[in-house]
Amino acid sequence: MAGFPPALDRLVQTLGRLPGIGRKSATRIALKLVSSSEAECRELADSIVDARSRTVRCSECGSFTEDDPCSICTDTRRDPSVICVVERASDVLALERTGRFRGRYHVLGGVLSPLDGIGPENLRIDSLLARVTSRQVTEVILALNPTAEGEATALYLARILGSRGVTVSKLASGLPVGGDLDLADELTLGTALEERRAF
Amino acid sequence: MWIRTLRLENFRNYERLELELEDGLNFLHGPNGSGKTSVLEAVSYLAVARSLKGASDNEVIRWGQQGFGVGADARSEESSISIVLKYVRGGGKRVTVDGTALTRLSDVVGLLRVAWFCPEDTWVTKGGPAERRRLLDMTLCQLDAGYLRTLADYRRTLRQRNEALLAWTPGAESDRIVDVWTERLVEYGSKVIAARLAFLPRFSIAVARVHQHVAGGGELNLEYRGNVVPAADARSLVDDLPGDVTLAAQHDLVEPVRERFRDALERVSEDERRRGFTLVGPHRGDLEVRLDGRVLRQFGSQGQHRTAAIALKLGEAAVLDEEGHGVIVLLDDILSELDAERGEALVECTSEFGQTLMTSTRLLPEGYAGAGKSAVFRVEGGEVVRQ
């Protein structure tokens, strides 16, 4: 079977390495690109390089930013005594969309996973401890995914933070808002029941 | 739920197949390698999202194709459902139920319930514990969606903890890492054990009843054996539960099991750190089968093992069939393993379930109970013809 010309093939290969893009999507995108104008392609290429060169990690929270520290860490209206710990920078966006959290964030950059060789030293835990000790932090909220690894990481953090006199809390797991009780799966409903609170 | 129409696309040696199935016995016969088992395998994909033959997803794709699809229209007395599972090489499996895509593949498990019985299973009571554990887990997963997820979390945590134990060096930090995985292991593992303990009484009764019928005598009894809760202790925990023990009782057992799991891990803590893997937990559990009070695995004759295997499988089917859910019994080439008498008893037993799919290289012997009202299909070279 005749393949694509080398340059086009290279583009397909490169696109295919991106998350969520399989070979089919990569081919579709590549064919769209080579049939658009050079200006359009230039714009895409420039925006990639530009975003890459301007975006840095916030030295405080580890989130993506153009100015270090980021706008959340420098916002004086936000409560510096509460830190919400998340796995990835994208989780910050998700929580910000709720508009409910007025404290600051800390991005771990992953979760504990011995199978992948990820230990505490590979996560931004030292900087979390430094923030907790040096600032007047009173509460740390652990907003990690309820997976085996997320739960183990939360437990690890709770143990090392517990000895430092801060309140450690965890996001509740339970019923989806606006959902029907009889449609919730047993595990979710069971957890919601176990973690019920006084009314 | 019973299957009315079964569809296969690029699955094994079938390019395309649409098969109308009947209630009761569906008997598929044809030469070896003609594609009888593939029909059963397709049903297992729809029920538990994988091959009960243990094949990988890539293996079942028709030669030269990039993926496969299986689908079924099923109905029970009250409702009907349409399930489609598609797999594309490298892309993962997707399931749609009544046209809506499921976000979690595992959510399909339990919609159609299946009990699968193949020649290798006739040794389930004789071989190692892994096969018996698998039987227990497959049944529980179909009965309880929570069990499936907890078991997956347990297995994942077990692998993580083993890795942490392997990397362990003396010191507080290393201990802390192992400890958090220990906590999670106890959390998931206690639920797994509690569910198994709560399930066993009902399972044991169902199996004993079938055994009585097939063997005509001898009392078969099942008990869960593990290294977390000693047998006598487990017995008294279950005996202390009020009323008839059902799967729902698992929630009352979690707390006492958790305590014992923690203690058991504490006892082997040094040993585990030295050896670098987890020594106690439900991954070491077993199902002990006793015939008239004696452990079958140690003394059973070939015939006794075969009869016990039938009883276990049909007992599984009976339990899955409870509460009117309906079960599909898949019997793969099982007549070749059984003598005429046991074979006939088996066919007769399956008639009490809603639907059975059975394969054989030969025709069903004349005069078998139930043979008259069965739907017979001839399978040859990727074609299935109703006779």
Q: Is the peptide bond between A69 and the residue preceding it cis, with omega within 30 degrees of 0?
A: yes
pLDDT category at A100 given cuts 50, 70, 90 is: very high
Which CATH number, 3.30.70.870, 3.40.1360.10, 3.40.920.10, 3.40.50.1000, labels domain A77-170? 3.40.1360.10
For B143, the closest chain A residue by CA position comes to A186
Nearest to B188 by CA among B166, B208, B158, B220: B158
Domain ranges of chain A: 1-40, 77-170
What is the average pLDDT score of chain A?
A: 91
Chain A residues whose beta carbon lies within 8 Å of the beta carbon of residue B156: 148-149
Burial of B250-271, coded b for 16+ CB within 10 Å and e otherwise, reads: bebbbebbbebbbebbeeebee
Give the mean model confidence (pLDDT) for residues B183-198.
96
**pLDDT reading at A28 higher than 60:** yes
N-term to C-term CA, chain B: 25
Tokens representing residue B253 in the block: 């057992």
What residues in chain A have their Cβ under 8 A from chain B's Cβ atoms?
Answer: 22-23, 112-115, 119-120, 147-149, 151-153, 155-156, 159-160, 185-187, 190
Query: pLDDT > 70: what percent of chain B?
Result: 98
Task: Give the chain B residue nearest A120 (alpha carbons).
Answer: B177
Does B276 contact A at CB distance below 8 Å?
A: no
Distance from CA of B73 to the nearest CA of A (A): 23
Alpha helices in chain B (DSSP H): 36-48, 129-143, 145-166, 172-215, 231-239, 250-275, 296-299, 302-321, 340-350
The answer on pLDDT for B78 being more than 90 is no
Mutant choice from B107, B153, B159, B160 vs A, greatest count of A C-beta within 10 A: B160
- B61 — contact with chain A (CB < 8 Å)? no
| pLDDT score of A1 | 46
Nearest to B160 among A120, A149, A159 (CB): A149
* pLDDT at residue B369, as a whole number: 58
B186 interfacial to chain A (CB closer than 8 Å): no
The residue that leads in pLDDT, B91 or A168, is: A168
Q: Is the pLDDT of residue A136 over 90?
A: no
| Alpha carbon B193 to its chain's center | 16
Alpha carbon of A116 to those of A87, A110, A113, B116, B174: distances in Å? Answer: 16, 11, 5, 36, 16
Residue A101 has pLDDT above 50, yes or no: yes
Q: Cβ of B156 under 8 Å from any chain A Cβ? A: yes
Contacts of B95 (CB under 8 A, 6+ apart): B49, B83, B84, B85, B86, B101, B102, B105, B107, B108
Shortest distance, CA A148 to any CA of chain B (angstroms): 6
Nearest CA in chain B to A194: B251
- Contact between B142 and B114 under an 8 Å Cβ cutoff? The reply is yes
Tell me the average pLDDT across A29-34: 94
Q: Is the pLDDT of residue A90 over 90?
A: yes
Q: Do B160 and A190 touch (CB under 8 A)?
A: no
Among B154, B180, B187, B255, most A C-beta atoms within 10 A, so best to mutate, is: B180
Residue with token string 């409702």? B79
Interface size, chain A vs chain B, as Cβ–Cβ contacts under 8 Å: 62
Higher pLDDT, residue A1 or A72: A72
| pLDDT tens for each residue of B298-333 | 988 988 998 999 899 999 999 998 877 889 999 998
Best of A116, A187, A194 to substitute, by most chain B Cβ atoms within 10 angstroms, is A187
Residue among B146, B166, B184 minimizing CB distance to A190 = B146
Nearest CA in chain B to A113: B160
Average pLDDT for B260-275: 96
Helix (H) or strand (E) holding B378: strand B375-380
Band (pLDDT 50/70/90 cuts) for residue B72 is: very high
Average pLDDT over residues A54-67: 94
Q: According to the model, what pLDDT value does residue B201 have? A: 92
Contact B184 A155 (CB under 8 A): yes
Q: Would the pLDDT of B145 be above 80?
A: yes
Domains of chain B: 1-113+325-387 (3.40.50.300), 124-320 (1.20.1050.90)
Tokens of B386: 């109703």
Of B156, B164, B166, the CB nearest to A148: B156
Contact call for residues A148 and B160 (beta carbons, < 8 A): yes
What is the rounded distance in angstroms from the CA atom of residue B16 to the CA atom of residue B49?
A: 19
State the CATH class of domain A1-40: mainly alpha
Closest C-alpha to B105, from B40, B192, B46: B46
Place of tokens 């086009």: A8
Q: What mean pLDDT is predicted for residues B14-22?
A: 94
Tokens (6 digits) for B163: 């890795």
Model pLDDT, residue B348: 82
Q: Are A157 and A85 in contact (CB under 8 A)?
A: yes
Q: What is the mean pLDDT of chain B?
A: 91
The mean pLDDT value for B341-360 works out to 85
Q: Which amino acid is at A167?
A: T
In chain B, helix, strand, coil percent, each to 5?
50, 25, 30
Of B145, B153, B166, the CB nearest to A186: B145
Which percentage of chain A shows pLDDT scores above 70?
A: 99
Token digits of residue B371: 């043979």
> What letter represents residue B226's amino acid?
G
The whole-number pLDDT of residue A2 equals: 64
Task: Nearest chain B residue to A117 by CA: give it.
Answer: B163
Rounded mean pLDDT of A113-123?
95
Percent of chain B predicted with pLDDT > 90: 69
Phi and psi torsions of A58, nearest 5°: -65, 130
For B119-173, give the secondary structure using H, E and C.
Answer: HHHHHCCCCCHHHHHHHHHHHHHHHCHHHHHHHHHHHHHHHHHHHHHHCCCCCHH
pLDDT band at B367 (very low <50, low <70, confident <90, very high): low
Q: Are A113 and B160 an interchain contact pair (Cβ–Cβ within 8 Å)?
A: yes
Sign of CA dihedral B236, B241, B244, B249: negative
**What is the identity of the amino acid at B125?**
T
Closest-approach residue (CA) in chain B for A149: B157
Lowest mean pLDDT among B122-136, B168-182, B364-378: B364-378
**How far is the C-alpha of A51 from the C-alpha of A46, rounded, in Å?**
8
Residue B371 has pLDDT above 60, yes or no: no
Calculate mean pLDDT across residues A89-95. Answer: 94
Tell whether the model's pLDDT for residue B61 goes beyond 50: yes
Tell me the C-alpha to C-alpha distance, in Å, between residue A46 and each of A29, A33, A38, B45, B369. Answer: 17, 14, 12, 47, 77
pLDDT at A171 over 50: yes
The string over B145-174, giving b where at least 16 C-beta atoms fall within 10 Å of a residue's C-beta and e elsewhere, is bbbbbbbebbebbbbbbbbbbeebeeeeeb
Cβ neighbours for B319, distance < 8 A, ≥ 6 positions apart:
B139, B143, B202, B203, B206
- Do residues A153 and A136 lie in contact, with contact meaning Cβ atoms separated by under 8 Å? no
- CA-based nearest residue to A85, from A121, A122, A125: A125
Q: What is the per-residue pLDDT for B372?
A: 58
Cross-strand pairs, B384: B379
Residue partners of B51: CB distance under 8 A and separation at least 6? B41, B44, B45, B57, B59, B60
